[in-house]
């Protein structure tokens, strides 16, 4: 039994995150000290309380000891001292053995969560504008609270089943030949693959809904040719629309006033990849309808998946600001630049891009009002993705389309998944991306994942192996890397057999992954969760930050340190360790509850099977469609295969 309450203070801006009507029970939230003048909500934290949630954010699963800011930011340096990443997911869960308490602070502007930073035993929420719909959910255990919350915000987006297969991405595969070579190399290496991602260079001069015809002379044919080989091409879509005479998207947008405007009514001139762009006003319904319809042009060419990028929105510069900067630069010319003036000069240039001031330069048409962007900043990526999602339902009612986004806000989870943005080939990011999963799940984002191997910086072979092992059950399973970094397609490394075995294992696990993912979506539950969700009474388990439960049967405990040949694992109950070197070559060992040091070689993936549970597995397949469900086999620990309730469907038809 949970109790859901709704409080409202100020005049909150609607976000569309909540789909159920819960009448407001007033404006004062029991248990919190509200200070309207300061714009804060405060509450003491007892020593045994763990604070989970806040989706995609830095640091561990327990968020205590830092300030997190909801303020969607295009910042590729996800170091511990950052306060914001690409997403704003304002739900957290205070957990103790006695009770679970969830709160969703529903407001589209900036929110700061000081969780024991200023004072170790206090939580302080600060709002830029003191207006919000706040939902609280009290319950006996975290699972119940999350189910209630997911009931409030609606079920997670469901991708096509092929989107659980392995995806290969790069900024960028420049043309048909490069894509063909990637696919051929994977097939030659015998490593399964379902998708190849097209980053910004597939477009004609970075113009949305265009194709570079020199690189892809017949995109329609190529898409279908790839599909015949079991490969889905997944193009990127950017938020900014290039300013270029004769470019239809630009011309239509200007004519129909689909773009964000400045106070003076002119369209904002900002810049991203192509240089100067306008930003579609996704908060305006008519713009969404128009922009969403554009995806159809690619779908008609055989595309059935997209990723929405740069939709915080990322801004290299606005034209107005850039002019100011160049004026100011001249003040530094021919000076003796010392510690103050030199760094002021550098900062002037360094802070041109993603400058918060730019978010005050333009407006949205939202529910009949003109609203300055910064007031609704965190909705932009969400509404861009909604534009696509609504269009998919209109134009493609019988088929799921893959969609995930970089920027997000709760509510967007109904239209697409997320990837955790431009991470790095760091071991610390391997762990971070593992720890981000439960927080994302709590906030409704079940289809999610990180760039495997890391996007920025150079990946090493051991990092790639360990990352693939860590992410073996992560729904989105995509290897992506940036221009200028070491190539990290799996076939480029030395131990191709290890990679083949690993990705084969992923595919063998898809019956379980898909089944548990779908059951979680349909029940409003969690797919990847902290141990405390399953063992709330176990003090030790509640503090574990580097193990997760996935679905009903499996505990993960990946190796995440370079040169480690094993790790310590805590078992809250007796479990069966399964040590895979491949789908065929594995060992099972029953371990008693407690602490264990487990050796794990670089080419091994370890899973822990819970007592009384079953792990269904398939024979390896070269793509998801080829998985043969008639030949499943079952690993069990004091259970029978028939104890497992397998969910399956055609993987394509919409499910609700």
Footprint of its own copies (CB under 8 A): 50, 59-60, 62, 64-66, 77, 79-81, 117, 119-120, 200, 206, 271-276, 316-317, 322, 326, 329, 333-334, 336-339, 341-342, 345-346, 349-350, 352-353, 424-428, 456-458, 460-463, 494-495, 540, 543, 545, 561-566, 568, 570, 595-597
**Beta-strand relationship, 232-238 and 305-309:** parallel
Minimum distance from residue 276 beta carbon to its own copies (Å): 5
**462 vs 574, beta carbon nearer its own copies:** 462
Query: What are 370's two structure tokens?
Result: 């003109």
Please classify residue 28 by burial: count the beta carbons closer than 10 Å to its beta carbon, then call 0-12 exposed, 13-18 middle and 19+ buried.
Answer: exposed
Spell out the long-range contacts of 57-62 with Cβ–Cβ below 8 A and sequence spacing 24 or more. Answer: 57/85, 57/87, 57/436, 57/439, 58/82, 58/83, 58/85, 58/432, 59/432, 59/435, 60/435, 60/545, 61/435, 61/438, 61/439, 61/530, 61/545, 62/543, 62/545
**271 vs 387, beta carbon nearer its own copies:** 271
Backbone torsions φ then ψ of 30, nearest 5 degrees: -60, 140
Minimum distance from residue 179 beta carbon to its own copies (Å): 21
What SS3 state is found at 341?
Answer: helix
Backbone torsions φ then ψ of 313, nearest 5 degrees: -85, 145
**315 vs 639, beta carbon nearer its own copies:** 315
Backbone torsions φ then ψ of 155, nearest 5 degrees: -70, 155
Contact between 61 and 53 under an 8 Å Cβ cutoff? The reply is no
Minimum distance from residue 28 beta carbon to its own copies (Å): 28
**59 vs 294, beta carbon nearer its own copies:** 59
Minimum distance from residue 333 beta carbon to its own copies (Å): 5
Query: What are 567's two structure tokens?
Result: 């790790």
Minimum distance from residue 92 beta carbon to its own copies (Å): 14
Distance from C-alpha of 624 to C-alpha of 450, rounded to nearest angstrom: 20
Please classify residue 540 by burial: count the beta carbons closer than 10 Å to its beta carbon, then call 0-12 exposed, 13-18 middle and 19+ buried.
Answer: middle
CA-nearest of 417, 410, 549, 405 to 476 is 417
Residue 284, CA atoms < 13 Å, CB-side half-sphere: 22
Minimum distance from residue 282 beta carbon to its own copies (Å): 23
**247 vs 415, beta carbon nearer its own copies:** 247
Distance from C-alpha of 165 to C-alpha of 191, rounded to nearest angstrom: 11
**275 vs 302, beta carbon nearer its own copies:** 275
- Helix axis angle, 285-299 to 248-256, nearest 10°: 160
Contact between 87 and 409 under an 8 Å Cβ cutoff? The reply is yes
**24 vs 349, beta carbon nearer its own copies:** 349
**144 vs 461, beta carbon nearer its own copies:** 461
**254 vs 337, beta carbon nearer its own copies:** 337
| Cα–Cα distance list, 262 to 278, 316, 320, 529 (Å) | 11, 17, 11, 44
Minimum distance from residue 572 beta carbon to its own copies (Å): 13
Name the strand (E) or helix (H) holding 347: helix 339-350
**567 vs 613, beta carbon nearer its own copies:** 567
Query: What are 595's two structure tokens?
Result: 């602490």
Minimum distance from residue 557 beta carbon to its own copies (Å): 12
Minimum distance from residue 316 beta carbon to its own copies (Å): 5
Contact between 602 and 466 under an 8 Å Cβ cutoff? The reply is yes
Minimum distance from residue 125 beta carbon to its own copies (Å): 18
Minimum distance from residue 436 beta carbon to its own copies (Å): 15
Query: What are 617's two structure tokens?
Result: 């597995």
Minimum distance from residue 131 beta carbon to its own copies (Å): 28
**Dihedral sign, Cα of residue 14, residue 17, residue 22, residue 25:** negative
Contact between 479 and 459 under an 8 Å Cβ cutoff? The reply is no
**87 vs 203, beta carbon nearer its own copies:** 203
Minimum distance from residue 10 beta carbon to its own copies (Å): 29
Minimum distance from residue 115 beta carbon to its own copies (Å): 10
Distance from C-alpha of 39 to C-alpha of 601, rounded to nearest angstrom: 52
Minimum distance from residue 486 beta carbon to its own copies (Å): 9
Strand partners, 126: 40, 112
**376 vs 556, beta carbon nearer its own copies:** 556
List alpha helices for 155-217, DSSP H: 176-189
**378 vs 547, beta carbon nearer its own copies:** 547
**172 vs 408, beta carbon nearer its own copies:** 172
**82 vs 519, beta carbon nearer its own copies:** 82
- Per DSSP, 327 falls in state H
Minimum distance from residue 496 beta carbon to its own copies (Å): 13
Contact between 148 and 17 under an 8 Å Cβ cutoff? The reply is no
Give 250's contacts (C-beta < 8 A, 6+ positions apart): 207, 241, 242, 243, 244, 278
List alpha helices for 525-638, DSSP H: 539-542
**457 vs 578, beta carbon nearer its own copies:** 457
């Amino acid at each position: 039994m949970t109790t859901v309450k709704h409080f409202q203070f100020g005049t909150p801006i609607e976000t569309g995150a909540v789909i159920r009507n819960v009448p407001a029970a007033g404006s004062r939230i029991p248990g919190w000290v509200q200070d309207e003048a300061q714009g804060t909500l405060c509450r003491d934290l007892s020593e045994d309380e763990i604070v989970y949630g806040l989706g995609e954010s830095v640091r561990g699963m327990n968020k205590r000891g830092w300030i997190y800011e909801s303020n969607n930011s295009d910042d590729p340096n996800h170091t511990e001292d950052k306060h914001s990443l690409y997403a704003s997911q304002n739900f957290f869960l205070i957990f103790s053995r006695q009770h679970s308490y969830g709160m969703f602070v529903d407001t589209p502007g900036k929110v700061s969560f000081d969780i024991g930073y200023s004072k170790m035993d206090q939580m302080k929420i600060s709002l830029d504008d003191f207006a919000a719909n706040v939902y609280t959910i009290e319950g006996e255990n975290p699972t119940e609270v999350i189910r209630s919350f997911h009931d409030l915000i609606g079920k997670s987006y469901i991708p096509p089943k092929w989107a659980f297969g392995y995806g290969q991405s790069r900024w960028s595969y420049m043309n048909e030949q490069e894509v063909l070579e990637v696919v051929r190399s994977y097939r030659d290496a015998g490593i399964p693959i379902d998708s190849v991602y097209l980053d910004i260079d597939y477009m004609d001069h970075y113009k949305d809904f265009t194709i570079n015809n020199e690189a892809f002379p017949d995109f329609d044919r190529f898409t279908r040719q790839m599909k015949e080989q079991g490969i889905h091409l997944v193009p990127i879509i950017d938020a900014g629309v290039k300013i270029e005479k004769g470019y239809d998207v630009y011309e239509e947008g200007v004519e129909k006033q689909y773009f964000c405007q400045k106070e003076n009514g002119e369209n904002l001139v900002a810049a991203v990849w192509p240089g100067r762009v306008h930003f579609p006003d996704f908060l305006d319904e008519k713009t969404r309808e128009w922009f969403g319809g554009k995806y159809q042009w690619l779908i008609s060419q055989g595309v059935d998946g997209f990723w929405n990028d740069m939709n915080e929105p990322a801004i290299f510069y606005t034209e107005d600001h850039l002019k100011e900067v160049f004026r100011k630069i001249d003040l530094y010319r021919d000076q003796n630049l010392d510690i103050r003036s030199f760094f002021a000069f550098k900062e002037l240039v360094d802070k041109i891009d993603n400058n918060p001031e730019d978010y005050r330069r333009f407006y949205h048409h939202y529910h009949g009002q003109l609203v300055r962007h910064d007031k609704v900043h965190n909705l932009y990526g969400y509404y861009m993705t909604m534009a696509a999602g609504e269009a998919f339902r209109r134009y493609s009612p019988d088929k799921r389309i893959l969609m995930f986004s970089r920027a997000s806000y709760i509510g967007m989870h109904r239209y697409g998944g997320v990837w955790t943005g431009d991470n790095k080939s760091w071991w610390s990011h391997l762990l971070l991306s593992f720890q981000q999963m439960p927080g994302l799940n709590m906030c409704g984002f079940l289809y999610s994942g990180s760039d495997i191997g890391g996007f920025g910086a150079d990946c090493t072979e051991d990092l790639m192996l360990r990352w693939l092992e860590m992410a073996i059950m992560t729904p989105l399973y995509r290897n992506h890397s940036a221009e200028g970094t070491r190539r990290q397609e799996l076939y480029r490394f030395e131990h191709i057999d290890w990679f083949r075995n690993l990705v084969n294992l992923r595919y063998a696990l898809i019956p379980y992954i898909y089944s548990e993912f779908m059951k979680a979506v349909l029940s409003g539950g969690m797919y990847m969760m902290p141990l405390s969700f399953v063992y709330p009474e176990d003090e030790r388990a509640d503090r574990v930050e580097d193990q997760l439960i996935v679905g009903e049967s499996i505990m993960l405990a990946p190796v995440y340190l370079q040169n480690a040949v094993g790790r310590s694992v805590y078992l809250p109950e007796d479990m069966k360790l399964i040590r895979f070197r491949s789908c065929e070559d594995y060992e099972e060992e029953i371990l008693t509850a407690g602490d264990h040091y487990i050796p794990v070689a670089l080419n091994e993936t370890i899973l822990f099977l819970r007592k009384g549970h079953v792990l269904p597995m398939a024979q390896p397949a070269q793509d998801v469609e080829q998985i043969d469900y008639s030949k499943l086999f079952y690993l069990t620990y004091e259970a029978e295969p028939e104890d497992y309730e397998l969910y399956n469907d055609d993987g394509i038809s919409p499910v609700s």
